[in-house]
């Protein structure tokens, strides 16, 4: 019996005789057919669906899961019709510095596609609003809990996704001993590009507001920025950025070269007529193009390096006329989800 396809093979079952009701005799084959319709009704299916970690499948943000070892919480989204033994794609969705769970949940709302693409998404929260090594145990405990709840053998792929400092944190974690044999892909949402970083826009960064206090004078020079070390383990990589955050996107990728991908191909533009769900309301006085203005519809360019070895995906997304903080629009979210679910997975189910 496969209720999702609404098929029921009555030849696998036997019902001799008939069901007698006053004035009628119902053949056994018809009884089995009626039973199939009953068992596959939406109400019964909902009763049969899995409930993960005592969380609603589409939880309210004020009803998170508590991670028992640290006492910290996270939001867990998963398909409302999730069945026992079903394969899913798992995303750990990290917010940026100064942000929180609610903002990240709206900034990259992949949870809206959880039924269509069979996604389980954990969106955690740092009480300091900035990720550091002290959060690593908490994040690992979330992954262990979801793995146990779903079943290691049913995790088709596991992706780290992070916005801004959440992206740089994902980059820091991805090849560490705990993560290296678990992570199948890294989605950087304005959190740094692997394979060659684009030059940052001179206007990038949080804009000073008219209501901000005057900065304290200092004579100490700002520390020089250090180049991030390229990870050296095995995973797919998708980089998404706002056009105004960078000077230009590199036309090549060392990460694509690692997997001997074909030359970059520009896919059709993704056009969104619906705005994203969030933007940084606290930095609009004045706003800057590089930091981000109000949420608006938009167009995104998608560049992919096809035919990568090991089934890896390497791709870049540039959101035209957008900055750092404008939430992703629905069509580009789906395009990114299509890319990551189309990549090879399987590290966790292989024993990672």
Which one has a higher pLDDT value, 150 or 36? 150
* Strands 155-163 and 265-272, sheet pairing: unpaired
Identify which of 323, 266, 259 has the alpha carbon closest to the alpha carbon of residue 291.
323
**What confidence score (pLDDT) does residue 65 get?**
98
Sequence-ordered alpha helix ranges (H) in 151-277: 165-173, 254-258
Calculate the average pLDDT of the chain. 89
How far, in Å, are 55, 199, 207, 218, 245 from residue 222 at the CA level? 45, 19, 17, 10, 21
CA distance 327 to 295: 7
**Percentage, residues of the chain above pLDDT 90:** 80
pLDDT band for 58, please (50, 70, 90 cuts): very high
Digit-coded pLDDT (tens) for 1-36: 344 333 333 333 344 454 455 555 556 555 455 555
CA distance 197 to 192: 7
**What confidence score (pLDDT) does residue 4 get?**
39
**Phi then psi dihedrals of residue 57, to 5 deg:** -70, -30
CA distance 15 to 11: 10
**Average pLDDT for residues 87-97, to the nearest whole number?**
98
Q: What does the domain layout of the chain look like in residue ranges? A: 10-45, 52-205+225-342
**Longest Cα pair distance anywhere in the chain, in angstroms?**
98
**Average pLDDT for residues 86-109, to the nearest whole number?**
98
Is the pLDDT assigned to residue 78 strictly greater than 50?
Answer: yes
Identify which of 345, 352, 350, 348 has the alpha carbon closest to the alpha carbon of residue 117.
345
Reported as type and span, the H/E element at residue 31 is: helix 28-39
Reported as type and span, the H/E element at residue 301 is: strand 298-305
CATH topology of domain 52-205+225-342: Rossmann fold (3.40.50)
pTM of the predicted model as reported, rounded to 2 decimal places? 0.85
Digit-coded pLDDT (tens) for 284-324: 999 999 999 999 999 999 999 999 999 999 999 999 999 99
pLDDT band for 46, please (50, 70, 90 cuts): very low
**What confidence score (pLDDT) does residue 19 get?**
47
CA distance 259 to 234: 9
Digit-coded pLDDT (tens) for 272-281: 999 999 999 9
């Amino acid at each position: 019996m496969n209720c999702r396809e609404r098929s029921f093979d009555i030849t696998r079952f036997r019902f001799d005789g008939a069901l007698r009701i006053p004035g009628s005799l119902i053949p056994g084959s018809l009884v089995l057919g009626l039973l199939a319709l009953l068992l596959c009704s939406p109400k019964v299916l909902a009763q049969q669906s899995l409930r993960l970690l005592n969380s609603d499948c589409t939880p309210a943000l004020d009803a998170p899961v508590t991670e028992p070892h640290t006492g910290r919480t996270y939001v867990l989204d998963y398909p409302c019709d999730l069945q026992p033994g079903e394969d899913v794609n798992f995303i750990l969705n990290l917010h940026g510095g100064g942000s929180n769970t609610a903002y990240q949940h709206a900034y990259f709302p992949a949870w809206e596609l959880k039924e269509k693409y069979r996604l389980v998404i954990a969106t955690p929260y740092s009480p300091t609003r900035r990720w550091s090594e002290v959060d690593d145990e908490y994040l690992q405990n979330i992954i262990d809990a979801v793995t146990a709840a779903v079943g290691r053998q049913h995790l088709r792929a596991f992706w780290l996704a992070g916005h801004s400092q959440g992206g740089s944190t994902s980059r820091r974690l991805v090849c560490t001993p705990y993560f290296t044999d678990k992570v199948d892909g890294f989605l950087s949402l304005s959190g740094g590009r692997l394979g060659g970083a684009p030059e940052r826009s001179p206007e990038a960064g949080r804009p000073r507001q008219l209501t901000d206090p005057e900065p304290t004078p200092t004579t100490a020079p700002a520390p020089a920025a250090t180049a991030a070390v390229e990870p050296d383990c095995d995973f797919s990589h998708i980089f998404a950025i706002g056009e105004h955050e960078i000077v230009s996107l590199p036309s090549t990728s060392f990460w694509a070269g690692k997997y001997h991908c074909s030359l970059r191909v520009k896919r059709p533009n993704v056009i969104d007529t619906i705005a994203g769900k969030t933007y940084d309301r606290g930095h609009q006085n004045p706003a800057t193009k590089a930091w981000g203005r109000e949420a608006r519809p938009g167009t995104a360019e998608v560049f992919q390096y096809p035919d990568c070895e090991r089934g890896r995906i390497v791709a870049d997304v540039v959101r035209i006329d957008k900055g750092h903080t404008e939430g992703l629009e629905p069509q580009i979210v789906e395009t990114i989800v299509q890319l990551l679910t189309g990549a090879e997975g399987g590290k966790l189910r292989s024993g990672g």
